[in-house]
């Protein structure tokens, strides 16, 4: 029998108890892994153990796939009408809303993000997403196609079957909802692997899914490491599709595994090095706020983080001054303290990785304009960091750091900044700031990215597609999966960092 995780929150933001199983969730039950081994789950704010969870193995993936296959063939998929799937999904969303604070607290504890953001971004976004896709469940339509008098041609949009979903640690619950929302709405059965760093909110959600009444096997959670469980999912002959959010490096491996096995469908939502272009005619104060949000939100652990900030020469000095002031205002500390705006990085490994990028920036001759240091001596806290005096070939300009580290780059030519912005293997997102809407739109259209934000940053909606150009990914999440580039034009939303 897997053990139960029981935790008493007694923080300024949240008080209350949470209790759920730390097992694998297979066929509607929490069970031990086949080897009875465990994985340590660490609190990134302290570096101390939170709990141990059951470790899954490839054998457990087999078990989960069999359960999912059975559910797909008997109680789910084409055997369960869309309106019924919608009902169960709405019920799950209701339960998540009912347990909003508890889920947010678990997320903050496990991931290190602040309780405030966990509740208002992750939880709210996740609940909206599940409800949005609940609405699609009874609207899966094919087409009838005119041929000639004697023929009828129509299409059916059928579920794929068993799908594997591998989610990251930066927005554990939100990414879970982005994956399971459309998969459940269309009638697929799921084997989900949460990140080994942040498995807790998925397990609590599994408990709620059981309560919501999903048939056993529709939604399975197999905790484990990428190299074992993730690989087993990617290689599995009975999984029809694998959806992955994470690094480009791992994304390639998953696609390779799919290519070598059953040619399963692959969607990948990968890394980015997204440009944020601030023209001289931007509303400077607003641009500064959005830029700070763009790079520092979620400790910079955001795939669409605006990590390359291009600023027009005419306003460069003033922007840098204001931007630095904003960075100074970002209070780094205990995720459960109401004043905290930034928590720790998710793990020791991520902390080391970010610090090594900061060192490389210094070694390669860039200037640490602000930050660049650890905060405190416990946990994985890093100060918001701004680099200047960079060159295009530096690692901190080329590679995804996935931390609160932005580079600010001066430009004075519109065409050239577009060239520089596009000079990357990535193409996830971009932002453009200008009060001249013609200049803003023209630039947004020329940037090679799946999402273009005009006078805003990091805005995501359940109804708007999201995904990458170039090496930032394959396929789209959210929305109805038909659009290619989402242009968000902001003409009213004022942003202010507290």
Partner 1 sequence: MSSHEQCYRSLASPAKPLSGTTSYSTQIPRKLPPRATITMSKFTQVNVPATGKTISVPTGLFINNEFVPSVDSQETIQCINPATEEPICSVVAGSAKDVDVAVAAARSALKTTWGKNVSGFERSRLLNKLADLIERDAQELAELEALNNGKPVKIARDFDIGDSVGCLRYYAGWADKIVGQSIDIDNKTKLAFTKHEPIGVCGQIIPWNYPIMMWAWKVAPALACGCTIVMKPSEFTPLTALKLSELVVEAGFPPGVVNTVPALGSVGGAALAAHPGVDKIAFTGSTVTGRKIMEAAAKSNLKKVSLELGGKSPQLIFESADIDQAANWAALGILYNTGQDCTAGSRVYVQDSIYDKFLQTLIEKAKALNIGNGFDEKSGGGPVVSKVQYDKIWSYIDAGKQEGAKCVLGGEKRPGKGYFVDPTIFTEIKPGMKIVKDEIFGPVLSVGRFKTEEEAINLANDTTYGLGAGLHSNDAGQCMRVSQALEAGTVWVNQYNLLYNNVPFGGKKQSGIGRELGSYALDEYTSVKAIQWNYGEKLDWPL
Q: Which residues bind partner 1 (CB under 8 A)?
A: 82-83, 86-87, 90, 116-117, 119-121, 124-125, 128, 131-132, 134-139, 141, 149-150, 152, 437-438, 441-442, 445, 456, 458-463, 480, 483, 487-496, 498
**Which C-beta is closer to partner 1: that of 242 or that of 456?**
456
**Which C-beta is closer to partner 1: that of 260 or that of 493?**
493
Which residues have CB under 8 Å from 148's CB, separation 6+?
none
**Which C-beta is closer to partner 1: that of 73 or that of 442?**
442
Whole-number minimum distance, CB 492 to partner 1, in Å? Answer: 6
**Which C-beta is closer to partner 1: that of 351 or that of 466?**
466
**Which C-beta is closer to partner 1: that of 130 or that of 386?**
130
Whole-number minimum distance, CB 453 to partner 1, in Å? Answer: 11
SS (H, E, C) the chain: CCCEEEEEEECCCCEEEEEEECCEEECCEEECCCCCCEEEEEECCCCEEEEEEECCCHHHHHHHHHHHHHHHHHCCHHHCCHHHHHHHHHHHHHHHHHCHHHHHHHHHHHHCCCHHHHHHHHHHHHHHHHHHHHHHCCCCCCCEECCCCCCCEECCCCCCCEEEEECCCCCHHHHHHHHHHHHHHCCCEEEEECCCCCCHHHHHHHHHHHHHCCCCCCEEECCCCHHHHHHHHHHCCCCCEEEEECCHHHHHHHHHHHHHCCCCEEEEECCCCCEEEECCCCCHHHHHHHHHHHHHHHHHCCCCCCCEEEEEHHHHHHHHHHHHHHHHHCCECCCCCCCCCECCCCCHHHHHHHHHHHHHHHHCCCEEEECCCECCCCCCCECCEEEECCCCCCHHHHCCCCCCEEEEEEECCHHHHHHHHHCCCCCCEEEEECCCHHHHHHHHHHCCCCEEEECCCCCCCCCCCECCCHHHEECCECCCCCCCCEEEECCCCCCCCC
CA 432 to chain centre: 22
Whole-number minimum distance, CB 91 to partner 1, in Å? Answer: 10
Whole-number minimum distance, CB 324 to partner 1, in Å? Answer: 21
Whole-number minimum distance, CB 234 to partner 1, in Å? Answer: 30
Instruction: For residue 60, give both structure tokens.
Output: 């457990």
> What separation in angstroms does the CA of 465 have from each of 178, 225, 453, 478?
11, 29, 13, 5
Distance CA 74, CA 54 (A): 28
Least Cα distance to 282 among 429, 59, 457, 126 occurs for 457
| Residue pair 284/318 in contact by the 8 Å Cβ criterion | yes
| Residue pair 188/159 in contact by the 8 Å Cβ criterion | yes
**Which C-beta is closer to partner 1: that of 222 or that of 462?**
462
**Which C-beta is closer to partner 1: that of 83 or that of 227?**
83
Residue in 235, 269, 400, 477 annotated catalytic: 269
Verify whether residue 100 is a known catalytic residue: no
Distance CA 445, CA 104 (A): 37
**Which C-beta is closer to partner 1: that of 202 or that of 457?**
457
**Which C-beta is closer to partner 1: that of 47 or that of 479?**
479
Whole-number minimum distance, CB 457 to partner 1, in Å? Answer: 10
Residues serving a catalytic function are 269
């Amino acid at each position: 029998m897997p053990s139960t995780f029981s935790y008493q929150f007694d923080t300024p933001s949240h008080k209350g108890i949470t209790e759920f199983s730390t097992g694998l969730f297979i066929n509607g039950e929490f069970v031990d892994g086949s080897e009875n081994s465990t994985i340590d789950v660490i609190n990134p704010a302290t570096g101390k153990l939170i709990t141990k969870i059951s470790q899954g193995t490839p054998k457990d993936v087999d078990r989960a796939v069999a359960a999912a296959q059975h559910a797909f063939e008997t109680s789910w998929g084409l055997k369960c009408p869309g309106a019924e799937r919608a009902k169960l999904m709405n019920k799950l969303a209701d339960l998540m809303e009912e347990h909003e604070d508890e889920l947010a607290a678990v997320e903050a504890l496990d991931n290190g993000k602040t309780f405030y953001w966990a509740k208002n971004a992750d939880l709210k976004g996740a609940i909206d997403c599940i409800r949005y896709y609940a609405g699609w469940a009874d609207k899966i339509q094919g087409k009838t196609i005119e041929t000639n008098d004697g023929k009828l041609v129509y299409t059916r949009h059928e579920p794929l079957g068993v799908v594997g979903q591998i989610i990251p640690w930066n927005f554990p619950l939100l990414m879970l909802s982005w994956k399971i929302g459309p998969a459940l709405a269309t009638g697929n059965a799921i084997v989900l692997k949460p990140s080994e760093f942040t498995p807790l909110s998925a397990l609590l959600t599994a408990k709620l899914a059981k309560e919501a009444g999903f048939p056993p096997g529709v939604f399975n959670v197999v905790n484990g490491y990428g190299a074992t469980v993730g690989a087993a999912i990617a290689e599995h002959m009975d999984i029809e599709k694998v959806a992955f959010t994470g690094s480009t490096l791992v994304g390639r491996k998953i696609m390779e595994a799919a290519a070598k096995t059953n040619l399963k469908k692959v969607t990948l939502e990968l890394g980015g090095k997204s440009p944020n272009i601030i023209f001289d005619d931007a509303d400077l104060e607003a641009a500064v706020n959005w830029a700070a949000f763009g790079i520092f939100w979620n400790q910079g652990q955001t795939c669409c983080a605006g990590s390359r900030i291009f600023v027009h020469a005419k306003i460069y000095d003033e922007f840098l001054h204001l931007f630095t002031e904003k960075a100074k205002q970002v209070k780094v500390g205990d995720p459960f303290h109401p004043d905290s705006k930034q928590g720790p990085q998710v793990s020791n490994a991520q902390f080391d990785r970010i610090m090594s990028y900061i060192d490389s920036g210094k070694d390669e001759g860039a200037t640490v304009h602000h930050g660049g240091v650890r905060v405190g001596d416990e946990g994985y806290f890093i100060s918001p960091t701004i680099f200047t005096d960079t060159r295009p070939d530096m690692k901190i300009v080329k590679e995804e750091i996935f931390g609160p580290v932005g580079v600010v780059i001066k430009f004075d030519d519109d065409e050239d900044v577009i060239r520089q912005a596009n000079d990357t293997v990535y193409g996830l997102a971009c932002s453009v700031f200008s009060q001249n809407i013609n200049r803003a739109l023209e630039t947004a259209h020329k940037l090679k990215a799946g999402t273009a934000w005009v006078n805003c940053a990091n805005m995501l909606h359940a109804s708007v597609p999201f995904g990458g150009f170039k090496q930032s990914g394959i396929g789209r999440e959210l929305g109805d999966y038909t659009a290619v580039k989402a242009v968000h034009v902001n003409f009213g939303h004022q942003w202010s960092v507290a």
